Amino acid sequence: MLSKKTKYGIKALTYICSHESDGAIPIAIISEAENISHKFLETILLTLKKGGILSSKKGKGGGYYLLKDPKEVFMSDIIRLLSGPIAMVPCVSLNFYEKCDDCPDEETCGINRLMLEVRDSTLKVLKQKSLAQLTMESSK
Amino acid sequence: MLSKKTKYGIKALTYICSHESDGAIPIAIISEAENISHKFLETILLTLKKGGILSSKKGKGGGYYLLKDPKEVFMSDIIRLLSGPIAMVPCVSLNFYEKCDDCPDEETCGINRLMLEVRDSTLKVLKQKSLAQLTMESSK
DNA sequence: ATTAACCCTATCGACTTGATGGGGAATGGC
DNA sequence: GCCATTCCCCATCAAGTCGATAGGGTTAAT
């Protein structure tokens, strides 16, 4: 299941994206518009900043703004930053690989192969949808 | 992430499947062979029984056995029983649908549409892999 | 009757999630 | 130089989930 954190993150990003012309947008504005706890949103935007998607300006007139072209920000990037691995088992994760503690041999593990297929098909969807696209769809 | 519960469930099923000719198989045998806590496995097998995949025989010489043809047991069935919905948001779940509390309108929700695509592609993979197939692959 | 095995309920510690509070540090306006 | 504004960081909390365990009850074959 998609965590609220990730959902909030996506919503905040689409908000920022569709108000890009306004310059930097303060947390308070987004949190009110999207009904997200101010403090919780803070940690989310911070993560997105550390992940290189957003940047911020402090002080009066400050706020968050997109650092990358929204056409180049993909759902897979956002979800990885906020929820971690996309794969359902660590042993097929591209960005967070880890050996399964129980499985002795990945080569002969049926679950491994199955989940590899699942990961590929999921990733295919998530990598082709950009923030720009999602924002456009949502504003209709 | 795939829970241990589900992973154990799949492993237990493949074990039962590949030892089908032996008749009913006791929990203790499976738990030892697959290194799964006896008691935990108990609840898992019980769930699979309630789900109509397994059946059991009590008393001496008893144990669990497949109720359905392993060619007709799909990964999607097993995962649904043990982990719940396959969809990443309740509002696109086929078997566990629920309206999202925050989202006012599913029609204009970009997340909804995205996750619908993800669900479809995931399901396509999980529905075409049967227990029989997985068991064969694992035994190599 | 005894025993092997399934079945059910309850509990526990560890971890995660979502939310909150209290301060700091930087920036811009005056 | 001061002050309001805003981002930043830390610590904590309640609720829920996960994996595991314990104890006892029920069924059925020998």
Could you report the per-residue pLDDT of A49-85, keeping only the tens digit for each?
999 999 999 999 999 999 999 999 999 999 999 999 9
Reported as a single tens digit per residue, the pLDDT across A103-114 is 878 888 999 999
| A117 shares a domain with A90 | yes
Q: How many angstroms away from the CA of B123 is the closest CA of chain A? A: 9
Identity of residue B53:
I
| B51 shares a domain with B80 | no
| A125 shares a domain with A95 | yes
| B58 shares a domain with B10 | yes
Bridge partners of A66, per DSSP, are A54
Reported as a single tens digit per residue, the pLDDT across A4-45 is 999 999 999 999 999 988 899 999 999 999 999 999 999 999
- In this prediction, residue A106 carries a pLDDT of 86
**A35 Cβ within 7 A of any nucleic strand C atom:** no
Q: How many angstroms away from the CA of B63 is the closest CA of chain A? A: 24
Bridge partners of A54, per DSSP, are A66
pTM above 0.95, yes or no: no
| B124 shares a domain with B86 | yes
| B80 shares a domain with B58 | no
Residue B96 tokens, joined: 């566990």
Q: Is the dihedral of CA A119, B48, B95, B97 positive or negative?
A: negative
Q: Is residue A138 part of a domain?
A: no
| A45 shares a domain with A12 | yes
| B10 shares a domain with B44 | yes
**Domains contained in chain A, number:** 2
Q: Is residue A140 part of a domain?
A: no
Reported as a single tens digit per residue, the pLDDT across B104-137 is 788 889 999 999 999 999 999 999 999 999 999 8
Q: Is residue B140 part of a domain?
A: no
Of A20, A39, A66, the domain-final residue: A66
The secondary structure of chain B, three-state, reads CCCHHHHHHHHHHHHHHHCHHHCCECHHHHHHHCCCCHHHHHHHHHHHHHCCCEEEECCCCCEEEECCCHHHCEHHHHHHHHHCCCCCCHHHCCCCCCCCCCCCCHHHCHHHHHHHHHHHHHHHHHHHCEHHHHHHHHCC
Q: What is the largest CA-CA distance in chain B?
A: 59
Residue B40 lies in domain: 4-66
- Other CB atoms within 10 Å distance of the CB of residue A94: 13
Of A66, A91, A108, the domain-final residue: A66
Q: Is residue B136 part of a domain?
A: no
Q: Which residues of B touch A (CB under 8 A)?
A: 1-2, 7, 10-11, 14, 35, 75, 85, 88-90, 102, 108-111, 113-115, 117-118, 121-122, 124-126, 129, 134-135, 137-138, 140
- Other CB atoms within 10 Å distance of the CB of residue A90: 17
Of A66, A89, A118, the domain-final residue: A66
Q: Is residue A42 part of a domain?
A: yes
Q: Is residue B53 part of a domain?
A: yes
- Category of A64 on φ-ψ map: left (φ > 0), alpha (ψ -120 to 50) or beta: beta
